[in-house]
């Protein structure tokens, strides 16, 4: 019985430490998002979440949201939105990719040299009913 209690205690502690590590990682990597230009009555921004990293490799989900709202809800007002993402490596980044590049959210994968600081610029052009609505950019610093 003590073995089972000890095992459950250890598993709970591992789960709690993992949750805390993910929360701290998100706070460190997200820093302050760069908001897009104000167009009409709204401001949009790029939001990174669901981080995964190993030495020299990072992944995240990038998405367009309105500030102050949950990233998992349909956040944009009614309209026919289209998206055009570009990703530009900088510094010692060896490769940076994003899939898909034509949706509200996409997976970002970056490989970089851990000895030198690097960054990746994410840019998203948001179109509403075929016309450019907003251009957003976000600098993701890798260390």
Q: Are strands 118-128 and 93-99 parallel, antiparallel or unpaired?
A: unpaired
- The string of pLDDT tens digits covering residues 106-135 is 999 999 988 888 899 999 999 999 999 999
- Is the CB of residue 122 less than 8 Å from the CB of residue 89? no
Q: Which of 140, 119, 125 is nearest to 44 (CA)?
A: 125
What percentage of the chain has pLDDT greater than the value 90? 42
- The string of pLDDT tens digits covering residues 62-111 is 998 877 666 555 456 667 889 999 999 987 778 999 999 899 999 999 99
Residues 129 and 77: their CA atoms lie apart, in Å, by 12
The DSSP 8-state label assigned to residue 19 in this structure reads H
Task: Kindly report whether the global pTM for this prediction surpasses the value 0.75.
Answer: no
Sheet-wide strand order for 118-128: 81-91, 118-128, 131-142
**Three-state DSSP class for 20?**
helix
Whole-Å CA distances, 133 to 17, 45, 56, 73, 127: 42, 13, 35, 20, 5
Averaged over 6-29, what is the pLDDT? 52
CA 91, 109, 142 angle in degrees (round to 5)? 35
Q: Which of 75, 64, 58 is nearest to 105 (CA)?
A: 64
Residues 121 and 100: their CA atoms lie apart, in Å, by 16
């Amino acid at each position: 019985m003590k073995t089972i209690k000890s095992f459950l205690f250890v598993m709970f502690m591992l789960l709690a430490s993992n949750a805390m590590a993910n929360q701290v990682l998100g706070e460190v990597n997200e820093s302050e998002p760069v908001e897009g230009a104000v167009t009409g009555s709204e401001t949009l921004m790029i939001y990174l979440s669901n981080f995964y990293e190993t030495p020299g490799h990072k992944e995240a989900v990038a998405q367009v949201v309105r500030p102050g709202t949950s990233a998992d809800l349909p956040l944009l007002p009614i309209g026919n939105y289209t998206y055009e993402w570009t990703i530009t490596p900088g510094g010692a980044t060896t490769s940076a990719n994003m899939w898909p590049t034509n949706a509200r959210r996409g997976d970002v994968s970056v490989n970089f040299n851990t000895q030198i600081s690097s960054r990746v610029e994410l840019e998203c052009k948001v179109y509403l009913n075929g016309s450019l609505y907003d251009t957003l950019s976000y600098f993701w610093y890798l260390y």
